[in-house]
Structure 1
Amino acid sequence: MANKGIVPVKLSLTEGDFYTLWAPQWREHGAEWQAFLGAGEDLYVFSSPAEVLLFLESGAKHDLEAHPQWEAFNSKDAARVVPDELDYFDLVGTPSLLAEKPNRRNVKDVAANFRMARALGEVCGNTDIQVFFSSHSILSNPERGFDHFAGDNGLGEWTAIGRVVLTNWAKVLDALDSCVTVKKVDGEAATAQTKISNAQAAAKKAAEEEKARKEEEAKKVDPYDTTLWSAAGIDPIKVSIDGRTLYTLRTYIKAQPVFLGKYGEIFTFNSAKALVRWIIEHEDHDLARVATWEDVMTAANAGDLEVTVHPDNVYSFNGIVRDISTGLDAVDTDQMSRAYELLADAADWAADDSLNSYFLSHPRLQDYISYMLGSTNTAGYTPTPPFDEHAENWKELEEMLTKRFSKF
């Protein structure tokens, strides 16, 4: 409460429900203060939030204008005078709460009601209220929460608080009634209520729009971005080729690919679990020199490493040879482009010219792939059937790749 500035509150007193503004304790010039909406010795309460708004808009002077956060509070929309559910204090109903067995809700409500009654008594300087709380230290225990009243001892203490309240609360309520002044205001309460309703509707609409915006933004967030792999910049990759599925790892350093492997051999595994088991037991590979590899190993050794493959790192060679033989329209160019990316990365990492040498000796395949992938270097060139030779050549490219794999 101490940091809430100025808050609207609802008070249930003997004569009914009333509304006012409360400034919980704040510190200024080395002293602690708290206040309610009022002037001089009068503490104002109103029959509705609309009447509170009418009073504030009337320009009448009151003590809260001296509060350091008054201008910030009063610049808010008309709904600023409507209490939240947590700022409802059923002072009349306190004995009924204590008549029940303690639970999280009623312990919290009793503590809040005691806090409010004490605050009203202090601001009004009411001796009866102040003496009541100072004479019964047990009344501060609801602030400790529900767990304090667990067990037989706690239940006994709850009952003891109930007895104190049952004996004295009527006098406390009389004192509270004498503290407040039911303020009458001029103006149309219905008009003020319309302002409040419009402000609440606008706030609700804004909240719904903000919720929708956040949900839309959440849809755009790639779940992979929250993984350790993304943070480390090292990616699991999945390769489907020649009827088999294999897993390995790859990163890029200064735009150059680095695979899990050594001396041109890519270490591959037939399952994600096998990959994790292997990296825990081995450290002689090129990725071990990457700065963030230690982060991967820490998670692996702790049993927290899960292999998550981003869709961009899934490579399927299945069916490409058949589709090339069938015709230009049968080839999935996106699949071919991604497969070619892996072929090129593997050759670059191995630092050999095998791929370039192959294309030099098979220029028709190079022209075909360039055409299929939309290269501007093939202007005026259109592949013509039959495509059996192209299919056979592509098959040889796949074999060049699988020969780099440790397990195939």
Structure 2
Amino acid sequence: MTTRAILPVKMSLTAGDFYTLWAPSWKENGAQWQAFLGDDQTVLVFNSPEELLAYLDTHAVHDLSDHPQWAEFQAQGDDRVVPSEKQYYDIIGAPAYLADRPSHENVSRLARVFQISRSLADVASAEHAQIFFASHSILGNVARGADHYAGENGLSEWSGVGRVVLANWEEVVHSLDDAVRVVDTQELDADRLAAAGTAIAAAQESRAAADEQRRADEEARAAAEDPYDSSVWGRAGIDPVKVSIQGQSVYTLRTYLAGSPVFLGKYGEIMTFPSTKHLGRWILENDDHDLASVSTWTDLINAANAGELKVEVHPDNSYSFNGIAADIAKGPDAVDTKQMAKAYELLADAADWAGDDSLNSLLLANPRMQDYLAYMLGSTEAAGYVPSAPFTDKAEAWTKMEDQLIKRFSKF
């Protein structure tokens, strides 16, 4: 039920709450072992984690010093002796778990109490407790978890465990009481005990600060992550695209294969739709297009058939041509170069996918437009060129480039 080699534990027995170390199980030389912190004669328990740490600091030899992972345990912080909430075992209070329904919490807590009680009984030779666990096989099913008691006879069996515990648990607890020795504070070095309290507090403060920093780092990473990357579209590597141009908006899809763009379409015609809903319906009913051959296309279709495909455009895949031509006519300072760069990216992608030289031909026929774009987009090819008025010819050339793109659309 636990995977850590050596655990700090808190146990509630008749005389109160006590702290010690427990090695639930380990294998050495082919044999299975289990142990508690002890002195060859009895299991040692302490009134506080501080007393436990002070003892470890002044006693190098004990029943756990030969454990194969003892050095690893000792290398942990000074708060290594402080149990977590799950390392608290309310042995004397076990019947209370059985007084209620077999919820996940009640069953898991009872299972942990049974586990440590049986281990303590075996290690310390607590005869009455050993006989109790050996004589009632019904107790073993508690380790199976709450699901075991969810069946038709679950409540009846849970009640059966309750009857067995109610009739015998007081004797079991007394047997475990006798199996441990409470180390008296007077047996410990006073200076070491005071230093232990300070060391534990400092270690807990340091661990809390480290945990807080880790949480902050995780939150920062989560905030930096784009939810789109884990969406169906992000995993498939095929993106919905929105194009706003000459007062209208259309939607399509695009991906990149070996760095080259591939659009939803065929023979140079880009399939475009007036809304994401139209696009979503169309891809379910049509497979005669270039994207159908992309390996992840079936992932999108499967998601669509399952009703899990929502067509949403990431801001990076939204292209607006609106206003660019008018701004070009006003002068370079009026142009949003980021908007222009994105728009030109789409123009180039569409021409590249279509295998059409019309864009290059237009620019070759208008060398000043080439220089203008190089200047506006920060290309080194614009060295020495500075745009000068009038800019109407540049605005007209840009509009022709837009017209070329629109002609590739199936609907506009």
TM-score relative to the length of structure 1: 0.92
* Residue of structure 1 equivalent to 2:221: 217
* Secondary structure, counterpart of 2:408 in structure 1: coil
Q: Is residue 313 of structure 1 aligned with residue 317 of structure 2?
A: yes
Q: Is residue 374 of structure 1 aligned with residue 378 of structure 2?
A: yes
Instruction: Give, in whole Å, the separation in 1 of the partners of 2:232 and 2:200.
Output: 48
* Secondary structure, counterpart of 2:61 in structure 1: coil
Conserved 8 A contact 1:224-1:308: no
TM alignment of 1:162-181, pairs within 5 A: 162-181=162-181
* Residue of structure 2 equivalent to 1:272: 276
Instruction: Give, in whole Å, the separation in 1 of the partners of 2:333 and 2:212.
Output: 47
Instruction: Give, in whole Å, the separation in 2 of the partners of 1:289 and 1:95.
Output: 65
Q: Is residue 339 of structure 1 aligned with residue 313 of structure 2?
A: no
Query: For residues 252 and 149 of structure 1, do their structure 2 counterparts lie closer, same or farther at Cα, with a shift above 3 Å needed?
Result: closer
* Secondary structure, counterpart of 1:252 in structure 2: strand
TM alignment of 1:2-401, pairs within 5 A: 2-149=2-149, 154-184=154-184, 185-188=187-190, 189-401=193-405
Unaligned segments of structure 2, at least 5 residues: none
Conserved 8 A contact 1:3-1:26: no
Query: For residues 280 and 33 of structure 1, do their structure 2 counterparts lie closer, same or farther at Cα, with a shift above 3 Å needed?
Result: same
CA drift of 1:378 comes to: 2.8
Query: For residues 227 and 19 of structure 1, do their structure 2 counterparts lie closer, same or farther at Cα, with a shift above 3 Å needed?
Result: same
Conserved 8 A contact 1:225-1:231: yes
1:370-400 per-position Cα deviation (integer Å, ceiling 9, x unaligned): 2222233333332223323322222222111
1:184-210 per-position Cα deviation (integer Å, ceiling 9, x unaligned): 342232220111111111111111111
CA drift of 1:58 comes to: 0.8
* Secondary structure, counterpart of 1:258 in structure 2: strand
Query: For residues 323 and 42 of structure 1, do their structure 2 counterparts lie closer, same or farther at Cα, with a shift above 3 Å needed?
Result: same
Instruction: Give, in whole Å, the separation in 2 of the partners of 1:81 and 1:115.
Output: 20
Q: Percent identity?
A: 56
* Residue of structure 1 equivalent to 2:408: 404
Conserved 8 A contact 1:2-1:26: no
Query: For residues 222 and 117 of structure 1, do their structure 2 counterparts lie closer, same or farther at Cα, with a shift above 3 Å needed?
Result: same
1:88-123 per-position Cα deviation (integer Å, ceiling 9, x unaligned): 111222234434454433333222222222211111
AA paired with 1:261?
G
AA paired with 2:188?
D
CA drift of 1:219 comes to: 2.2
CA drift of 1:69 comes to: 1.4
CA drift of 1:77 comes to: 1.0
AA paired with 1:90?
D
CA drift of 1:274 comes to: 2.0
CA drift of 1:13 comes to: 1.2
Instruction: Give, in whole Å, the separation in 1 of the partners of 2:337 and 2:94.
Output: 74
* Secondary structure, counterpart of 1:279 in structure 2: helix
Query: For residues 63 and 163 of structure 1, do their structure 2 counterparts lie closer, same or farther at Cα, with a shift above 3 Å needed?
Result: same
CA drift of 1:154 comes to: 4.4
AA paired with 1:366?
Q
1:10-61 per-position Cα deviation (integer Å, ceiling 9, x unaligned): 1111111111111112222222211111122311111111111111111341
AA paired with 1:315?
Y
Query: For residues 312 and 19 of structure 1, do their structure 2 counterparts lie closer, same or farther at Cα, with a shift above 3 Å needed?
Result: same
Query: For residues 180 and 235 of structure 1, do their structure 2 counterparts lie closer, same or farther at Cα, with a shift above 3 Å needed?
Result: same
Instruction: Give, in whole Å, the separation in 2 of the partners of 1:394 and 1:214.
Output: 46
Query: For residues 157 and 353 of structure 1, do their structure 2 counterparts lie closer, same or farther at Cα, with a shift above 3 Å needed?
Result: closer
* Secondary structure, counterpart of 1:39 in structure 2: coil
Instruction: Give, in whole Å, the separation in 2 of the partners of 1:10 and 1:131.
Output: 24
AA paired with 2:30?
G
Aligned residues between the structures: 408
* Secondary structure, counterpart of 1:63 in structure 2: coil
1:152-194 per-position Cα deviation (integer Å, ceiling 9, x unaligned): 9544544443443333322222211111111234223222011
Instruction: Give, in whole Å, the separation in 2 of the partners of 1:151 and 1:352.
Output: 69
CA drift of 1:325 comes to: 2.3
1:125-150 per-position Cα deviation (integer Å, ceiling 9, x unaligned): 22211112223333334334334445
Instruction: Give, in whole Å, the separation in 2 of the partners of 1:161 and 1:268.
Output: 68
**CA RMSD between the two structures:** 2.3
Instruction: Give, in whole Å, the separation in 2 of the partners of 1:159 and 1:296.
Output: 52
Unaligned segments of structure 1, at least 5 residues: none
AA paired with 1:333?
T
* Secondary structure, counterpart of 2:92 in structure 1: coil
AA paired with 1:29?
N
* Secondary structure, counterpart of 1:371 in structure 2: helix
Instruction: Give, in whole Å, the separation in 1 of the partners of 2:151 and 2:293.
Output: 59
Instruction: Give, in whole Å, the separation in 2 of the partners of 1:287 and 1:245.
Output: 21
1:203-228 per-position Cα deviation (integer Å, ceiling 9, x unaligned): 11111111111221222222232233
* Secondary structure, counterpart of 1:403 in structure 2: helix
